[in-house]
Structure formats: C-alpha cells, structure tokens
Chain A
Amino acid sequence: MPQNYVPIFIFALVAFLVAAGTVALCALVRPKNPFKTKLMPYECGITPFDNARGRYTVRFYIVAILFVVFDVETIFLFPWAVQFKLLGLFGLLEMMIFLGILIVGYIWIWKKGALEWV
C-alpha cells in the first residue's frame, strides 16, 4: 500500500531534525576561542605543506568501477530470488547462464590484476 511509505519519510524528516537540531543547539552553548595554530590542519605538529586534495592511487577508481558492475548484478539477483519458486526451471537456468558470463568476467579481471592492491 502506498500510504505505508509515508511514515518512512516522516521518520527521515524527524531524524534529520534531530541531527540538525543537535548541531544548532551546540552552536548556541559552545565556547568560541579560536587562534591561528588551533585552526591549522592537523598534520602531527609540523607545518602543513602541499595540497590535501592531491593525487592518489588509481586503485580507488578501479574499485569504484568494479563496484558498479557487481552492484548492478546484485540488484538483478534480488527480484529473481524473491520470485524464485514462481520462475521455476527456466528462471534457474537463465540466472545460471547470467552468473556464468559474470564469473568469466570476474576471472578475467582477476587475471588482469584489477583486484591486486599493490
């Protein structure tokens, strides 16, 4: 029933108000005494150098792309699993073929070294 979804939105709104309200409340009562060294970025006591948003390893991009591939697969599996008994043998075989293609791709990315971190 569509009206059953309404409480979730109310809950999200209340949770947001609780979170934002806490921040606002603290802004009212907190002390404020900043000075220059206190406001510096934390780098274990040395003077900060270089840009914090500099270059970082390409591995993070690869992980993000692999995530997209496998997450779409997960989403595809969810409705199949719920309707599993209804789909019968046809659904089972079709999903096995799909998983087979996916596993071939998985072995390929493994051999290519996309899963190695170093």
Chain B
Amino acid sequence: MSIGTYILVSLVKIVLALLILLTAVAYTTLLERKVVAHIQNRWGPSRVGPFGIWQPLADGLKFIFKEDLTPPYVNKPLYMLAPIIALTTALTSIAVIPIGPWIRLGSVNTPLQITDINIGLLVILGVTSVGVYGVALAGWSSNSKYSMLGGLRASAQMISYEIALGLSLIGVLIYAGSFSLSDIVNSQAGVWFGFIPKWNIFKGQFVAFFIYIMAAYAETNRIPFDLPEAETELVAGYHTEYSSMKFAMFFMAEYANMVTVACLASILFLGGWSGPVFGPPIVQSLLPVFWFAVRVFAFMFIYIWVRGTLPRFRYDQLMAFGWKFLLPLAIANIVVTAFVVAVK
C-alpha cells in the first residue's frame, strides 16, 4: 500500500487504540471501586447513573475543575514534566500489543495492532523503563519529604523487580524464537491430546508465569507491593504534592500500565487470542479479539481481587523477596528451560 494510506491507517488505529485504552482505564477504576466495595461488604459507587456507570465521567469532570496547586518551592519544569512523562510512556507501551490476527477491511490488509515490528517485546520493556523517570522526577521535584521518600522507594522497587520481570521472559523467548508479539502468539497455536492448548504456561513456563505476575504487580506499584504510595506511612508517596488533573494523570498511568501488563501476560503465557472460532465470517474475525479481551479482563479482575485480599509488605521484605527469591528462581527457570529445550 502507498505511504499515504499507511500513515492514514496508522493514525486511525492510534486514535482508536487511545480511545479504547483511556475508556478501559476509566472503567477499571469503576470496576476496582465496585469489586473492592463488594469484597468489603459495601455497595461502592451507585448514585451516578444505574450501578454508578457514569462515575468515571463524573470523576474526570471533577478533576478538571479542581484547583491545580503548584507550590512555590517545587522545581517547576520537572514538576510539570513528571506526570506527562508517566502518562506518555504508559500510553505508548500499548503501541505494539496485538489484540488479534491480521484482518481485511475492503482493500486494506492490516494487523490488529498499531504496528507489527520484530522487536515488539523490547520496545515495551524499554518504554515502560522510561516510566521510572516520571515517578523519580515527581518525587524529587516536589521538594517535600514524603514525596522524596516515595520517589526513592518507587525507583528502587521498580528497578529491582525489572530484573526478575526481564528474566522471566527468557523462557518464553527460547520457545518462541522471536521478539515479535504476534510470532509469540503464533508459536503457541495447536493442542495436545485434542484438548490441552499449547500455551507457554502449559509448556513448563508456569514458574516464569508466577514470577512475571509478581514482578508486574511490583512494577505497577499495586498491592501487595504498593510501598511507594503506602498511605499509612507516606501520606501519598511521590504524588503527595500533586493536585487536580496532574494527580489524576499518575493514576491514569498506573491503570494504563496495568492494562499493558495484563495484555502482555495473556500474549506471553496464555496463548494471546487463541480460542474456539465459529459462526459467520464477521463473527469469526471478531471472536479472537473477544477471547483476548476475556483474558485481559480476567487479569484485571485478579489485580483487584488481590488488592481486596492481601495486606502490604514491609519494605525490607519487599527487597528481600525480589533479590533473594524471585531473582534466583528466575535464573533457575532459565537454566532448566534451556536444558529441556536442548535435550528435545
């Protein structure tokens, strides 16, 4: 196809992806409040529309019209830049995630992702690593003790668990032989004995799967690893001095990162969009997207379920868990996987 069509198709996909992602982010907040409320035997938001379904819109409007305080003692350029970096990187990391196989629309044949590149996984890891800057800069530029401590804690925690996260992916890469996320999904096609799908989690990567999930919870600063914003000791951590929409942007970034992590977990370990496909052609082309969405929703639900269930770690326990347990376990997983694949 010509360059003009290519750019146009890309732009349409980018706008669609951003709309879907931001809607998902908004409604994850509602889902979280509802589920946590029911876990704690409350009702959760129920006044704005039926079952509170307009609550995210009301929250967004409220955030926009709140006073945005920029305290005089902050480092102003970095203070402004930090939430922008956090949100930009969180949104950009969704760019290479495929939500389905190639589809045909009229004369245009296109993958169901922004772009299919052969180092997709590396791009995601790289872009999410830059997100640490948003948190660290927010903590430092605020010039407040709680922000500083929260920023330091968050940076140390995120870089510690990034190692376990990266090492847990090696096993999957050995099986798939490619960084391209659609190749990784395709390498998990087929079934054993007619009913066990050949997903990586069933190929012996279940240890890696659990390392990935735990490291990802720590990367996104979620309970039980939410030390950077532990409200009982640090007020709000690195965003103590932020207000209004800048405060909301850190939360949007956190939830967008959760969506990315859930998508990656589905793609790397649970076979991506594979699932039974049947019915008329239009249903056949949409069913893979549906199966993918089901997996992502399940992961988001587990995120919230964990939040409603587990207490918070202590900081030394958190560091010991990452460095003394997850890291050696991930290295052992690599060695075992390498020998198993080599013997085959």
Can you list 19 A-B contacts (CB < 8 A)?
Answer: A4-B115, A8-B95, A8-B115, A8-B117, A11-B92, A12-B88, A23-B249, A31-B67, A34-B69, A41-B144, A56-B149, A64-B159, A67-B160, A77-B170, A82-B178, A83-B177, A85-B341, A115-B319, A116-B320
Q: Which of B65, B144, B155, B170 contacts A30 (CB 8 A)?
A: B65
Q: A101 an interface residue at 8 Å Cβ cutoff?
A: no
**Bitwise interface map of B from 300 to 344 toward A, beta carbon under 8 Å scored 1, else 0:** 000000000000000110011001100110010011001101100
Interface size on B, residues (CB 8 A): 82
Rounded to whole angstroms, the CA-CA distance of A55 and B214 in the bound complex is: 31
CB atoms of B14 and A71 under 8 A apart: no
Binding site for B on A (CB under 8 A): 3-8, 10-12, 14-16, 18-20, 22-23, 25-27, 29-34, 38-44, 48, 50, 52-53, 56, 59-60, 63-64, 66-67, 70-71, 74-75, 77-78, 81-85, 89, 92, 95-96, 99, 102-103, 106, 110, 115-118
Cβ of B18: which chain A residues have Cβ within 8 Å of it? 14-15, 18
Rounded to whole angstroms, the CA-CA distance of A89 and B344 in the bound complex is: 12
Rounded to whole angstroms, the CA-CA distance of A42 and B116 in the bound complex is: 46
Q: B230 an interface residue at 8 Å Cβ cutoff?
A: no
Chain B 1-59 interface residues, beta-carbon cutoff 8 Å to A? 3, 6-7, 10-11, 13-15, 17-18
CB atoms of A30 and B66 under 8 A apart: yes
Rounded to whole angstroms, the CA-CA distance of A6 and B10 in the bound complex is: 9
CB atoms of A39 and B338 under 8 A apart: no
Q: Which of B83, B84, B163, B246 contacts A67 (CB 8 A)?
A: B163
Specify the chain B residue showing the minimal Cβ separation from A109. Answer: B323
CB atoms of A41 and B316 under 8 A apart: no
CB atoms of B245 and A23 under 8 A apart: yes
Known A81-B174, A99-B331; judge A117-B64 contact (CB<8 A). no
Q: B244 an interface residue at 8 Å Cβ cutoff?
A: yes
Known A30-B66, A64-B159; judge A92-B338 contact (CB<8 A). yes
Interface of A is mostly: helix
Cβ of B316: which chain A residues have Cβ within 8 Å of it? 116-118
Q: B122 an interface residue at 8 Å Cβ cutoff?
A: yes
CB atoms of A42 and B235 under 8 A apart: yes
Specify the chain B residue showing the minimal Cβ separation from A43. Answer: B145
CB atoms of A42 and B240 under 8 A apart: yes
**Bitwise interface map of B from 180 to 212 toward A, beta carbon under 8 Å scored 1, else 0:** 000000000000000000000000000000000
Which among A5, A26, A50, A96 has the greatest number of chain B C-beta atoms within 10 A?
A26
Q: Which of B73, B140, B155, B341 contacts A41 (CB 8 A)?
A: B73
Minimum Cβ distance to chain B for residue A83 (Å): 8
CB atoms of A5 and B88 under 8 A apart: no
CB atoms of B11 and A103 under 8 A apart: no
Cβ of B328: which chain A residues have Cβ within 8 Å of it? 106
Known A41-B143, A52-B143, A53-B143; judge A7-B235 contact (CB<8 A). no
Cβ of B15: which chain A residues have Cβ within 8 Å of it? 14
Minimum Cβ distance to chain B for residue A39 (Å): 5
Specify the chain A residue showing the minimal Cβ separation from B10. Answer: A7
Known A23-B80, A67-B159; judge A52-B145 contact (CB<8 A). yes
Rounded to whole angstroms, the CA-CA distance of A92 and B3 in the bound complex is: 43
